[in-house]
Amino acid sequence: MATPTASQLVEKLMKAAFDRPRDPRSFAYKLGVRSLLTSRATKTPLVRPYAAGTVEFDAFFSGVDEGHAVWRQHEVPA
């Protein structure tokens, strides 16, 4: 079986996290999850798209926190 590309892996992890019943999340939150997963999958730095002190910045980094949890679970499945 071929190893998935970074973008395929990110899509798979995003679907596992969000394509199920759960509380709705904002665009900025989901972008934080996706950005963290992309950063980890491609081994590139995380880019902050929002200015510090904005609600979008807070939502983005809440998503980054979830992204870390998703990535940890990917690395060491339960």
- Where exactly are the structural domains of the chain? 26-78
- HSE on the CB side for 23, CA within 13 Å? 3
Instruction: Please report the pLDDT score of residue 78 as a whole number.
Output: 63
Which band of pLDDT confidence, cut at 50, 70 and 90, is reported for residue 43?
very high
Which band of pLDDT confidence, cut at 50, 70 and 90, is reported for residue 19?
very high
Question: How far apart are the C-alpha atoms of 29 and 26, rounded to whole Å?
Answer: 5
Q: State if pTM tops 0.75.
A: yes
Q: Which residues in 25-56 are b (16+ Cβ under 10 Å) and which e? A: beebbbbbbbbbbbbbbeeeeeeeebeeeeeb
Instruction: Please report the pLDDT score of residue 2 as a whole number.
Output: 67
For the segment 3-19, the average pLDDT, to the nearest whole number, is: 94
Question: How far apart are the C-alpha atoms of 60 and 40, rounded to whole Å?
Answer: 16
